[in-house]
């Protein structure tokens, strides 16, 4: 078996980080029915707890990328992971809505800077022509975390309470922090395992500390991508937060069955993330056009997700719902790799800050989508209306994505 190169090992570490962060983020969704009963929460309160994560998460998309650019991925991701581990462990001792809300807020602080900073690491450690693959595979591992979490939580709940499950997951996640601090270096040239052949394939290293970032011009250039990411994020937050409860309450399944159906749906995202990254890179290599490689995949993802959400709204059938939700999630996840590659394409010198600005749209969607979903279910007694809102935003996303210009490189203001 061929030994992994240093860049491949870094990508593997980042992939594992994505998996763990999503496990820590979405484990509450599977435990939610038990927590709801034990802590006497309504669907509205549960939705607010889901959305609490997204408040600092959204803010840190704006500043987290800058932090990663300024202090480097090694330190920034270490601090992020430490906060995530602590918050997950403390979730096991919450006493009610207030403490749960506070810890979900804190978890959002921990995860907020992680993905923009990981993009900074990729921009130094991944060949330019493989950026789509790198974004696709790391996010695919995130979706593996989504897909495995329901089964993992059910397994843990058989041996420990829902409180104990948070203790276990937080403690295991701490091991990644140790490995990251030991292995990673901000500059590939300083890594003891790097070879001249590896360095020849990597892009020029951009300085991690820059005196000035052109915030307003850069934000103006990234804004169209941010809005498209909001449209994608609305639907993703729906899947991450409410799909287990959707099967549990709408189809009256037990907790085990709802978790298994949810895992099947979320696993489709693993395939979608990987296919989206590979497809985007292949189109780029074949055509040399960033418009085709990025924009066409994103538009196709939006339209495919839209088509397969429609039967979920129109037909009340468990099998149809499971199959169509899986296909909708597959197509939605085709969007991830190319849309995360676009900030790297547009502003490689500010990859962390630019990707954070883009993912601010995702964070804002997280503020609104989960809580709105829970409120509408409580008010209407139906799951149809929130899905209709997602369909509308998928259509809007497809239209706006068709106008993105990843081929136009950001030009820094003179002076």
Q: Render pLDDT for 263-287 as a digit per residue (tens, 0 to 9).
A: 778 788 888 988 998 899 899 889 9
The domain limits of the chain are 6-200+216-401
Q: Determine the pLDDT at residue 415.
A: 52
Lowest mean pLDDT segment, chosen from 127-131, 138-142, 397-401: 127-131
Q: Give the model confidence (pLDDT) of 180-199 as tens digits.
A: 999 999 889 889 988 888 88
- Most confident range (mean pLDDT) of 14-18, 122-126, 240-244, 319-323 is 14-18
Q: Is the pLDDT of residue 205 over 70?
A: no
Top-confidence residue, 66 or 391? 391
- 6-200+216-401 sits in which CATH class? mainly alpha
Top-confidence residue, 52 or 206? 52
**pLDDT average, residue stretch 93-113:** 90
**pLDDT average, residue stretch 311-319:** 82
Question: Cα–Cα distance between 286 and 214 in angstroms, integer?
Answer: 34
Q: Determine the pLDDT at residue 198.
A: 85
Res. 150 pLDDT band, cuts 50 70 90: confident
Q: Determine the pLDDT at residue 235.
A: 85
Q: Please tell me the pTM assigned to this model.
A: 0.76
What are φ and ψ of residue 169, in 5° steps? -65, -40
Top-confidence residue, 203 or 49? 49
Res. 208 pLDDT band, cuts 50 70 90: very low
Q: Give the model confidence (pLDDT) of 350-381 as tens digits.
A: 877 888 889 888 888 877 877 777 777 777 77
Question: Cα–Cα distance between 76 and 404 in angstroms, integer?
Answer: 30
Res. 211 pLDDT band, cuts 50 70 90: low
**pLDDT average, residue stretch 234-244:** 78
Lowest mean pLDDT segment, chosen from 72-81, 160-169, 194-203: 194-203
What proportion of the chain, given as a percentage, has pLDDT over 90?
Answer: 32
Question: Average model confidence (pLDDT) for the chain?
Answer: 85
* HEC letters along the chain: CCCCCHHHHHHHHHHHHHHHHHHHHHHHHHHHHHHHHHHCCCHHHHHHHHHHCHHHHHHHHHHHHHHHHHHCHHHHHHHHHHHHHHHHHHHCCCCCHHHHHHHHHHHHHHHHCHHHHHHHHHHHHCCHHHHHHHHHHHHHHHHHHHHHHHHHHHHHHHHCCHHHHHHHHHHHHHHHHHHHHHHCCCCHHHCCCCCHHHHHHCCCCCCCCCCCCCHHHHHHHHHHHHHHHHHHHHHHHHHHHHHHHHHHHHCCCCHHHHHHHHHHHHHHHHHHHHHHHHHHHHHHHHHCCHHHHHHHHHHHHHHHHHHHHHHHHHCCCHHHHHHHHHHHHHHHHCCHHHHHHHHHHHCHHHHHHHHHHHHHHHHHHHHHHHHHHHHHHHHHCCCHHHHHHHHHHHHHHHHHHCCCCCCCCCCCCCC
Q: Determine the pLDDT at residue 181.
A: 94
Q: Determine the pLDDT at residue 349.
A: 80
Structure tokens at 362: 């995702």
Q: Give the model confidence (pLDDT) of 24-46 as tens digits.
A: 988 887 788 888 888 888 877 88
Q: Is the pLDDT of residue 128 over 80?
A: no
What residue spans of 92-130 are helical by DSSP H? 97-112, 114-125
Q: Is the pLDDT of residue 141 over 60?
A: yes
Number of CB atoms found within 10 A of residue 164's CB = 13
Lowest mean pLDDT segment, chosen from 116-125, 197-206, 291-300, 302-311: 197-206
Question: Cα–Cα distance between 198 and 180 in angstroms, integer?
Answer: 20
Spatial contact of 79 and 134, defined as CB atoms under 8 Å apart = no
């Amino acid at each position: 078996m061929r030994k992994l190169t240093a860049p491949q090992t870094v990508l593997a570490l980042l992939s594992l980080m994505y998996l763990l962060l999503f496990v820590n983020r979405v484990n509450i969704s599977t435990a939610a029915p038990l927590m709801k009963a034990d802590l006497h929460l309504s669907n509205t309160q549960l939705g607010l707890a889901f959305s609490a994560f997204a408040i600092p998460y959204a803010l840190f998309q704006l500043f987290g990328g800058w932090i990663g650019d300024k202090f480097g991925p090694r330190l920034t991701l270490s601090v992020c992971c430490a906060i995530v581990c602590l918050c997950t462990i403390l979730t096991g001792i919450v006493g009610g809505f207030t403490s749960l809300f506070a810890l979900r807020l804190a978890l959002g602080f921990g995860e907020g800077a992680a993905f923009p900073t990981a993009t900074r690491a990729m921009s130094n450690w991944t060949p330019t022509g493989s950026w789509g693959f790198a974004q696709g595979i790391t996010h695919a591992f995130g979706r593996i975390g989504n897909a495995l979490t329901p089964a993992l939580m059910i397994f843990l709940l058989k041996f420990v309470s829902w409180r104990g499950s948070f203790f276990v997951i937080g403690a295991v996640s701490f091991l990644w922090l140790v490995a990251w601090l030991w292995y990673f270096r901000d500059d590939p040239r300083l890594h003891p395992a790097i070879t001249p052949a590896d360095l020849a394939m990597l892009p020029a290293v951009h300085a991690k500390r820059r005196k000035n970032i052109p915030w307003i011009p850069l934000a103006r250039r990234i804004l169209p991508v941010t809005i498209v990411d909001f449209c994608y994020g609305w639907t993703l937050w729906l899947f991450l937060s409410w799909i287990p409860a959707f099967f549990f309450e709408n189809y009256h399944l037990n907790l085990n069955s709802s978790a298994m159906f949810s895992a099947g749906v979320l696993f489709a995202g693993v395939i979608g993330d990987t296919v989206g990254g590979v497809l985007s890179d292949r189109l780029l290599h074949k055509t040399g056009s960033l418009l085709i490689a990025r924009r066409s995949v994103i538009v196709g993802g939006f339209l495919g997700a839209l088509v397969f959400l429609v039967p979920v709204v129109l037909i009340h059938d468990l099998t149809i719902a499971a199959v169509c939700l899986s296909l909708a999630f597959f197509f939605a996840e085709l969007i991830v790799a190319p849309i995360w590659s676009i900030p790297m394409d547009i502003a490689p010198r500010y990859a962390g800050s630019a990707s954070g600005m883009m993912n601010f749209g995702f964070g804002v969607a997280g503020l609104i989508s989960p809580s709105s979903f829970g409120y509408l279910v409580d008010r209407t007694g139906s799951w149809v209306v929130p899905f209709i809102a997602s369909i509308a935003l998928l259509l809007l996303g497809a239209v706006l994505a068709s106008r993105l210009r990843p081929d136009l490189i950001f030009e820094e203001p003179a002076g």
